[in-house]
Amino acid sequence: MAIVAGLLYGVNFNPAQYYMDNNPDASRNGLDYVFPHYCGIMLTSSVYFILYGMLARNNPQIFPQVTLPALSSGAMWGIGAYPLLLARE
């Protein structure tokens, strides 16, 4: 799982970089891609959770004790990935 997570993290920002490299009208400012990138992550996570709820027949297993650590982990990842987008300019 760690190898898969590392591979996915490694290619996480490739679509924005590919767009910047191959579109002459694209903004060179990495900050212009932060909001759509994070919205895409939120939308994808929401779709996965909705599908899980449907497969679990509207009875998903949610562990309240991990909710706050999961949210804080996601916030820390978002804050840490923000400078990475700045560095890719």
Q: What is the pLDDT of residues 2-13, one digit of tens each?
A: 999 889 888 888
How far apart CA 3 and CA 78 sit, in angstroms, is 20
pTM of the shown model: 0.74
Token code pair at residue 38: 């994070």
- pLDDT digits over 15-68, tens only? 888 988 899 999 888 888 888 888 998 999 999 999 999 999 989 898 999 999
How many structural domains compose the chain?
A: 1
* pLDDT of 88: 64
* pLDDT of 72: 95
- Domain of 31 in residue numbering reads as 2-87
18-23: list long-range contacts, CB under 8 Å, 24+ apart: 20/88
* pLDDT of 37: 87
